[in-house]
Structure 1
Amino acid sequence: MAQASLDLALHGRRFGAVAIGASAGGVNALIDILPGLPRSYPLPIVVVLHVMRGRQNQLVDVFRQRVELRVEEAADKDALAPGTLYFAPADYHLSIEEGGVFSLSLEPPVHFARPAIDMTMESAADVYGRGLCGVLLTGANHDGAAGLAAIGKAGGLTVVQEPAEAQVAVMPNEAIRRRAPDLVLPLRDIRKLLAMLTGEVG
């Protein structure tokens, strides 16, 4: 996508947070888009990945070696901080409450997943509204489609990985089918877009 098109998508927006969801193939996709963001990045990035129980701390360790951002596992009642990459803990749903504070719960799985992307994105949309950027990457089920739609309805920016590029295209395709996203991009352009979310644009 041309730089001018990315500029147009961001024009006049001010962002407070980024929410990213992924499943099968998501680790490799994240490794493509997150390195290069500076430690001074002005936004928190919250990632929900479908992982096996007990694997979440490994993700934190893996990404601490690859990104400049501070990397943490999201903890109950912690406030979101700029320049920090948060991973939802395994086997807990992760929500964001008013004031930008994490909340963990043990409600039943959604789309067979806990954490569920939908729960995180829907709660983040309620808190950040137009100031949220939601990104849905590769994955093998429908989790995240409703969450990304909620971000769009709240006025946030919605981005889906180009299905033809995704390791598993089910999740991106379902998101596109459910509600047309603002942008459908390959990973190289998602990486460029994230780097541009540095406050007010235009």
Structure 2
Amino acid sequence: MAYEIVAVGSSAGGVKALMAVLGELPTDFRVPLVVVQHLDPWHDTALAEILDRRSRLRIKLAEAGDVLEPGVVHLAPPNRHLLVRPGGVLELSATDRVKFVRPSVDLLFESVAAVYGPAALVCVLTGTGSDGSAGAEMVKARGGTVVAEDPETAEFKGMPQAVVKAVPADLVLPLDEIAGALVGLVKGTRTL
């Protein structure tokens, strides 16, 4: 299967986890990435700049109307849901919170599943709560691939554990193996 997008969700402990994963991805990573990290809704964030300094990929805060491109990471801005529409066009939404959060990993994953179906690769990292589990179910239902950080080694196990309980995750890995797995899956050198 050729993947066309990688979507990542994280919450508590996520900044460190995102640094670990995004920092290991090579410059020739062939697909676009979209990321929801739960952020303080009332403050601007420097997260894109922080991650950009630690990654070989370009990392930017998503803006409405952005079009996804390979090797660029689009990060959901504070207090906005990030959705992917046909053609890889990004949409930002201020609709109601989902599971008490905005941006919502579930909404991102559901939009990715709807647009990309079996070409969707999603990954849930550390976090509290269960955001991401309903979206992971949708991704699996459409034939996509779900990777979860191992709840036993995650800094906060809530989100990855909810995903592993909700769906048969394709891969459950410790944090330090996730970047390599994503690269292998995208390149087609790793099987599930």
**Considering only aligned residues, what root-mean-square deviation do their CA atoms show, in Å?**
1.4
Q: Which residue of 1 aligns with 2:8?
A: 20
Deviations 1:8-56 (A, max 9, x none): xxxxx10100000010011111111111322222111111010102555
Query: What are the residue-to-residue correspondences of 1:56-71 with 2, within 5 Å?
Result: 57-71=45-59
The TM-score, its normalising length taken from structure 1, stands at: 0.89
Q: 1:16 to 1:56 in 2, by over 3 A?
A: farther
One-letter amino acid of the counterpart of residue 150, structure 1: M
CA contact (8 A) 1:121 1:150 kept: yes
Q: Which residue of 2 aligns with 1:187?
A: 175
2:105 pairs with 117, 120, 126, which one? 117
2:78 pairs with 65, 72, 90, which one? 90
Query: What are the residue-to-residue correspondences of 1:5-154 with 2, within 5 Å?
Result: 13-53=1-41, 55=43, 57-154=45-142
Q: 1:190 to 1:55 in 2, by over 3 A?
A: farther
Q: 1:176 to 1:56 in 2, by over 3 A?
A: farther
Q: Distance in 1 between matches of 2:133 and 2:151?
A: 13
Runs of 4+ in 1 over 6 A off after TM superposition: none
Unaligned runs of 5+ in 1: 1-12
CA contact (8 A) 1:56 1:87 kept: no
Identity %: 37
Q: Which moved more, 1:17-26 or 1:166-175?
A: 166-175
The number of equivalent residue pairs is: 190
Specify the SS of the correspondent of 1:126: helix
One-letter amino acid of the counterpart of residue 168, structure 2: A
Deviations 1:46-73 (A, max 9, x none): 1101010255531011011100101111
Q: Distance in 2 between matches of 1:164 and 1:129?
A: 29
CA contact (8 A) 2:49 2:60 kept: no
Q: Which residue of 2 aligns with 1:10?
A: none
Q: Distance in 1 between matches of 2:50 and 2:67?
A: 23
Specify the SS of the correspondent of 2:79: coil
The TM-score, its normalising length taken from structure 2, stands at: 0.94
Q: Distance in 2 between matches of 1:50 and 1:112?
A: 11
Query: What are the residue-to-residue correspondences of 1:161-172 with 2, within 5 Å?
Result: 161-172=149-160
Unaligned runs of 5+ in 2: none
Q: Which residue of 2 aligns with 1:173?
A: 161
One-letter amino acid of the counterpart of residue 13, structure 2: G
One-letter amino acid of the counterpart of residue 155, structure 2: Q
CA contact (8 A) 1:23 1:50 kept: yes
Q: Distance in 2 between matches of 1:20 and 1:117?
A: 8
